Chains A and B, each alone.
Chain A
Amino acid sequence: MSRIRLWEMALLVAALLLPAALGQAQERGVTPTEIVIGSTIPLSGPAAYWGLGVGGGIDAYLKWINDQGGINGRKFRTVLLDDSYLPARSAVNARELVERHGVFAIVGMIGTANAFASRDFILESRVLWITPTTNDIWAGLRPDRKKYLFVTYPSYLNEGRILTQYAAEKLNTKKIAVFYQNDEYGLGLFRGVKYGAAAAKGVQLVGSASYELTDTDVSAQAVKLRSSGADTVFLAATPSQGALIVREMAKLGWRPQLLATFTLGDPIMFRLAGEAWNDVYAGAYFLLPGMGDARIEETLATLVRINPQLRTTPYNALAGVSFVEPLVEALRRAGPNVTKDRVVEAMESLRNWDGAVARQITFGPNRHQGLTRIYVVKASGGQYVKMTDWISYQPQF
Chain B
Amino acid sequence: MHTDLRQRYEEDLALVRGFWGWFALAALVVALALLPFRAPGYIVFTVSLVAINAIIAVGLNLLTGYTGQISLGHAGFVAIGAYTAGILSGRLGLSWWVAWPAAGLVAALFGFLVGLPALRLTGPYLTIATLGFGIAVHQVLTNWERLSGGRMGLPVPRAMFGPASLTGEQRLYILAVGGAALLIWVAYNLTRSHVGRAFVALRDSDIAAEVMGINLTRYKTLAFAVSAFYAGVAGALFGQALRHLEPQLFTFFESIYYFAMIVIGGLASIPGAVIGAVIVTILPQQLSLLREWVPIIFGTAIILLMALEPRGLYGRWQRIRLYFTTWPL
A residues apposed to B, CB below 8 Å: 1-2, 4-10, 12-14, 16-17, 19-21, 25, 43-45, 48, 80-84, 87-89, 91-93, 95-96, 98-100, 112-113, 116-117, 119-121, 124, 136, 140, 182-184, 187
Contacts and interface: CB of A to CB of B under 8 A. Distances in A.
B151 A183 contact: yes
Nearest to B49: A88
Nearest to A25: B40
Chain B CB within 10 A, most for which of A82, A91, A98, A182: A82
Given A17-B282, A96-B288, 6 more contacts: A2-B271, A6-B28, A16-B279, A17-B43, A20-B43, A116-B153
B284 interface: yes
B294 A136 contact: no
28 contacts: A6-B24, A7-B21, A7-B27, A8-B317, A9-B275, A10-B24, A13-B274, A17-B46, A17-B47, A20-B43, A20-B282, A44-B292, A82-B288, A87-B242, A87-B244, A87-B246, A87-B248, A87-B249, A88-B238, A92-B42, A92-B46, A98-B42, A116-B153, A116-B244, A117-B244, A119-B243, A121-B168, A182-B143
Given A10-B27, A95-B42, A112-B246, A2 B151 contact: no
Contacts of A100: 40, 42
Contacts of A91: 45, 241-242
Contact of B168 (A6, A119, A120): A120
B269 interface: yes
B188 A4 contact: yes
Interface in B157-176: 168-169
B171 to A, nearest CB: 13
A117 B292 contact: no
Contacts of B42: 92, 95-96, 98-100
Interface residues of B, number: 65
Contacts of B24: 5-7, 10
Chain B CB within 10 A, most for which of A5, A14, A84: A5
Nearest to A2: B269
Contact of A43 (B16, B39, B242, B291): B291
Contacts of B15: 4
Main secondary structure of the interface of B (DSSP, over half): helix
Given A9-B275, A16-B278, A20-B43, A113 B284 contact: no
Interface in B58-117: none
Nearest to A11: B24
Contacts of A7: 20-21, 23-25, 27-28
B288 A89 contact: yes
A187 B291 CA distance: 30
Contacts of A21: 39, 43
B16 A19 contact: no
A263 to B, nearest CB: 16
Nearest to A136: B152
B285 A99 contact: no
Given A16-B282, A44-B291, A120-B168, A95 B41 contact: yes
Interface of B: 12, 15-16, 20-21, 23-25, 27-28, 31, 39-43, 45-47, 49-50, 142-143, 150-153, 155, 168-169, 188, 191-192, 238, 241-244, 246, 248-249, 268-272, 274-275, 278-279, 282, 284-286, 288-292, 294-295, 314, 317-318, 321
A113 B152 contact: no
Contact of A184 (B12, B39, B151, B275): B151
A96 B321 CA distance: 36
B317 A93 contact: no
B45 A120 contact: no
Nearest to B265: A12
A84 B286 contact: no
A19 B45 contact: no
A91 B241 CA distance: 9
A320 to B, nearest CB: 15
A19 B289 CA distance: 14
Contacts of B244: 87, 113, 116-117, 119
Nearest to B47: A17
A187 B25 contact: no
Nearest to B244: A116
Nearest to B143: A182
B142 to A, nearest CB: 6
Given A92-B46, A140-B155, A2 B285 contact: no
Chain B CB within 10 A, most for which of A2, A81, A99, A182: A2
B246 A2 contact: no
Contact of B289 (A1, A9, A44, A81): A81
Contacts of A20: 43, 46, 282, 286
A21 B40 CA distance: 8
B215 to A, nearest CB: 23
A84 to B, nearest CB: 7
The 10 closest A-B pairs by CB, nearest first: A7-B24, A95-B42, A116-B244, A113-B246, A117-B242, A10-B28, A43-B291, A183-B151, A2-B269, A81-B288
B271 A88 contact: no
A24 to B, nearest CB: 9
Contact of A9 (B28, B142, B285): B28
B49 A92 contact: yes
B152 A89 contact: no
B172 to A, nearest CB: 11
A82 B28 contact: no
A89 B23 CA distance: 35
Nearest to B12: A1
A57 to B, nearest CB: 15
A116 B294 CA distance: 24
Given A6-B21, A21-B39, A119-B244, A92 B291 contact: no
Contacts of B21: 5-7
Chain B CB within 10 A, most for which of A13, A19, A117: A13
A363 to B, nearest CB: 26
